[in-house]
Structure 1
């Protein structure tokens, strides 16, 4: 079996690639950074049990470049049996403070990058009457978060994309799946945490992030079982299926906590000002 993983140089994508390699499957990695790809291929080969590892650099937001990369992967490892579209970026900031180019980049990479990846393998899968496309979305697709307008928009759009493609794929033998991972301990997550607004932390809480390996294990198991959607926690499943009932109450609670947080921020800032004579901004109050 040949598995192609976009965003395969690190994080969830790399963990998925290693999980398949450990089962002896042929794995192809696609990502932008050539140097990180080389390191990723070494990691995949280190755990491989009789399979092969191939990598090619491409920007998923560029359809022609990605299509060329997929062809190179299929030349090396045969037709794609499973595509895991994991490439994505997040740059949290309040909407009016986020540069338009950064907003556009998140939407282009997360949404159009996934569409480009699916387009590159879908026709061939239909012609052969088999194949699986796994879309890696996010728990952030299920609820709006302060500072995540671009990310939430792009990740929630993937749900609509996957459902529409599922409808089109009926009777073709091609399975379309989507998963909604929670916070996952990856290099991108570590960078994101330095920019995450405290208002988002209020709603998201301080839950310990999952390991990329644990997420990958669930994704691979979901693909094996032919699941159309994967929710990793009970709270995410509740948001997915009971959101219209839960969100109004959650919104009321959230507004209350924001008011409390604003008061604490003001009080802390005032205390610092009185002690030092210099006004200090507090980014993350302890709630």
Structure 2
């Protein structure tokens, strides 16, 4: 079996690639950073049980580049049996503070990059009457978060995209699935946490992130069981299926917590002013 993974140089993508390689499958990695890809190939080969490993650098947001990369993968390892579309980026910032370029890049990579990857393998899979496409979305697809306008938009759009091509794939032999991972301990997550607004943390809570390996195992198990959707926690499953009933109440609770946070911020600032004669801004109230 040949598995192609976009975003395969790190994080969830690399963890999925290593897990498949450990099963003896042929694995191809696609990512932008050639140096990180070289290291990823060594990591995959270190756990491989005999399957070949191939890697090629490409920007998933550029259709022609990605199509060429997928063709190279299939030349090296044969037709794609499983596509893991996991390339993605996140750049937290309030909408009015986020540059247009940063907004567009998240949409291009997360949404268009996934569509480009699916398009690159779809025709071949349809002609052969078999294949699996796994869309890696996010728990952020299920609810809007402060500071994540571009990311939430791109990841929630993937839900509609996956459902649409699931409908189109009926009778073709192609299985299209989507998963919604929670916070996952990856290099990107570590960078994201330095920029995550406190308002987002109010809603998301301070929950220990999953390991990329645990996410990868759940994704592969879902593919093996032919699941159309994979939710990783009870809370995300509740948002997915009961969102219209839960989110209005959650919104009321969130607004009250923000008001409380604003009051605590003001109180702390006033206390500092009285004690030191200077004002002090507090960015992250302890809620």
Tell whether the structures are fold-level matches, with TM greater than 0.5.
Answer: yes
Distance 1:270 1:100 in 2: 36
| Greater shift in the superposed pair: 19-28 or 264-273 | 264-273
How many residues are matched? 287
Partners in 2 of 1:90 and 1:203 — Cα distance? Answer: 18
Moved more, 95-104 or 273-282: 273-282
CA offset digits 1:67-105 (Å, max 9, x no partner) = 000000000000000000000000000000100110000
Distance in 1 (CA, whole Å) between partners of 2:35 and 2:57 is 9
Deviations 1:144-191 (A, max 9, x none): 000000000000000000000000000000000000000000000000
Equivalent-residue separation in structure 1 for 2:135 and 2:185 (angstroms):
19
Q: Take 2:53 and 2:272, find their aligned partners in 1: how far apart are those partners?
A: 56
Deviates more, 1:262-271 or 1:182-191: 262-271
Q: CA deviation at 1:242?
A: 0.2
Residues 33 and 276 of structure 1: CA distance in aligned 2, closer, same or farther (over 3 Å): farther
Q: Secondary structure at the match of 2:146?
A: coil
**Residues 252-275 of structure 1: per-residue CA shift (max 9 Å, x gap):** 000000000111111222223333
Give 5+ residue unaligned stretches, structure 1: none
Within the alignment, does 1:18 sit opposite 2:14 as a pair? Answer: no
Return the alpha-carbon distance in structure 2 between the equivalents of residues 220 and 118 of structure 1.
Answer: 18
Q: Distance in 2 between matches of 1:69 and 1:277?
A: 62
Q: How far is the alpha carbon of 1:282 from its aligned partner?
A: 1.6
In structure 1, what is the equivalent of residue 174 of structure 2?
A: 174
Deviations 1:12-63 (A, max 9, x none): 0000000000000000000000000000000000000011111000000000
For the residues of structure 2 that align with 1:9 and 1:107, how far apart are their CA atoms? Answer: 20
Corresponding residue for residue 91 of structure 1 = 91
Q: Tell me, yes or no, if structure 1 residue 103 matches structure 2 residue 103.
A: yes
Q: Which runs of 5+ in 2 are unaligned?
A: none
* CA drift at 1:279: 2.6
Of the structure 1 ranges 77-86 and 258-267, higher mean CA displacement relative to structure 2 is found in: 258-267
Mapped to 1, the partners of 2:32 and 2:273 lie a distance apart of 46
Secondary structure, in 3 states, of the residue corresponding to 2:27? strand
Secondary structure of the 1:55 match is strand
- SS of aligned partner of 2:29: strand
CA-to-aligned-CA distance 1:174-214 (integer Å, 9 cap, x gap):
00000000000000000000000000000000000000000
> Structure 1 residue 124: deviation in Å?
0.3
Aligned equivalent of 1:230: 230
CA RMSD of aligned residues (A): 0.7
Residue deviations 1:114-158 (CA, integer Å, cap 9, x gap): 000000000000000000000000000000000000000000000
**Displacement after TM superposition at 1:233 (Å):** 0.3
Structure 2 Cα separation of the partners of residues 118 and 284 of structure 1:
40
For residues 215-265 of structure 1, give each alpha carbon's deviation from its aligned partner in whole angstroms, at most 9, with x where no partner exists.
000000000111000000000000000000000110000000000011111
Cα distance in 1 for partners of 2:42, 2:278 equals 52
When normalised by structure 2's length, the TM-score is 0.99
